[in-house]
Amino acid sequence: MPSAPPSPQALLGPYYLGVVLNTFLYGILVIQTLHYYQHYKRDKLWLRLFVVYLFTVETLNTGICVAMIYEPLVKQFGTDAPVVLFPSLLPSQPFLEAAIFVPCQFFYAWRIWIITQNLIAPVLICMASTTSLIGAVWTAIIVSQVKSYENKPKVDHTALVWSVSAAAADLIITTSLIWSLRLKKTGMKRTDDVIDRIIRTAIQTGGLTMTFTILDVALFVALPNSTLSFLFDFAIPKLYSNALISTFNVRSTGPLRTVDLATRGMQTQNMLFLDTHQEVATSATLMDDDPTGYTQYTDVHSDILALSTARPEPTTGDPSS
pLDDT tens for the chain, 321 residues long, are 445 556 777 788 899 999 999 999 999 999 999 999 998 988 889 999 999 999 999 999 999 999 999 998 898 887 888 888 889 899 999 999 999 999 999 999 998 898 888 899 999 999 999 999 999 999 999 999 988 888 888 888 898 999 899 989 989 988 888 888 777 777 787 777 777 777 777 777 777 888 888 888 888 888 877 888 889 999 999 999 998 998 888 764 444 444 333 333 333 334 344 334 433 333 333 333 333 333 343 334 444 444 443 445 555 544 444
Q: Where are the beta strands (DSSP E) in 113-269?
A: 256-260, 266-267
CATH topology of domain 8-252: Rhopdopsin 7-helix transmembrane proteins (1.20.1070)
Domain boundaries, the chain: 8-252, 256-306
Spatial distance between the Cα atoms of 25 and 241, rounded to a whole number of angstroms: 10
Spatial distance between the Cα atoms of 134 and 156, rounded to a whole number of angstroms: 14
Percentage helix, strand, coil for the chain under 3-state DSSP, each rounded to 5:
65, 5, 25
Q: What residues does 256 pair with on adjacent strands? A: 288
With a CB cutoff of 8 Å and minimum separation 6, the contacts of 23 are 62, 65, 66
Q: Where are the beta strands (DSSP E) in the chain?
A: 256-260, 266-267, 283-289, 295-301
Q: What is the pTM of this model?
A: 0.76
The CA distances from residue 71 to 12, 15, 86, 150, in Å, are 11, 11, 10, 19
3-state secondary structure of 266: strand
Contact present, 300 and 194 (Cβ < 8 Å): yes
